[in-house]
């Protein structure tokens, strides 16, 4: 018979991302962030390829990135551009999870993408379980190659899987509607 972990089950049943714009100071120190990154790195990884890495973006880097977004050739309409800049300008700490596609005859690229996404969720949950507020964001700039390579310094075979903003929660978000499990679950008996 399995041994339940009520504390973990309660966390998972009640976890809630915190809007990035409500995250303030303080943020985790490097020493406080390392165990969170270690927990995220325990993510399932078929073939042990480690198809991801972390870029820890501290305040000065976030400010620089916000300024550089406006310089992109493919900059979006003014509203989308302001939203993208604010995501970085108003943040105090974010961890960019970078998907790193590794050549493999056995592990398809899509499985590496799934692993990078799982790292994002593990990082988010580890930060929340550690008592920090956290949010997983992306946005148009995350998918823009000029941003990825020119601003973030990524290689051509890398892309941003997610930006995990971490800080002190300044206000609790309201609960949001959750999926109707009856509508999205099919039981296959034979």
- pLDDT at site 73: 65
Q: Pick from 182, 179, 81, 167: which is nearest to 131 by CA?
A: 167
- 70: exposed, middle or buried (C-beta count within 10 Å: 0-12, 13-18, 19+)? exposed
20 within 8 A of 87, measured Cβ to Cβ: yes
pLDDT in tens, the chain (190 residues): 999 999 999 999 999 999 999 999 999 999 999 999 999 999 999 999 999 999 999 999 999 999 999 888 666 688 888 999 999 999 999 999 999 999 999 999 999 999 999 999 999 999 999 999 999 999 999 999 999 999 999 999 999 999 999 999 999 888 899 999 999 999 999 9
Q: What is the DSSP letter of 101?
A: -
Q: How many CB atoms neighbour CB 29 within 10 A?
A: 9
């Amino acid at each position: 018979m399995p041994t339940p972990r009520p504390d973990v089950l309660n966390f998972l049943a009640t976890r809630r991302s915190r809007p990035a714009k409500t995250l303030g100071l303080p943020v985790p120190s490097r020493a406080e962030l390392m165990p969170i990154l270690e927990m995220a790195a325990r993510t399932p990884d078929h073939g042990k390829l480690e198809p991801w890495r972390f870029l820890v973006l501290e305040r000065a880097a976030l400010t620089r990135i916000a300024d550089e977004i406006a310089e992109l050739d493919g900059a979006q309409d003014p509203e989308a551009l302001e939203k993208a800049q604010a995501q970085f300008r108003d943040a105090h700490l974010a961890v960019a999870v970078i998907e790193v596609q590794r050549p493999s005859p056995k592990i398809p690229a899509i499985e590496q993408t799934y692993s990078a996404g799982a790292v994002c969720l593990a990082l988010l949950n580890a930060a929340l379980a550690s008592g920090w507020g956290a949010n997983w964001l992306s946005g148009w700039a995350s998918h823009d190659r000029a941003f990825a390579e020119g601003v973030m310094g990524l290689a051509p075979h890398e892309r941003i899987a997610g930006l995990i903003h971490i800080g002190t929660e300044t206000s609790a978000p309201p609960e949001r509607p959750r999926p109707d499990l009856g509508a999205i679950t099919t039981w296959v008996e034979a």
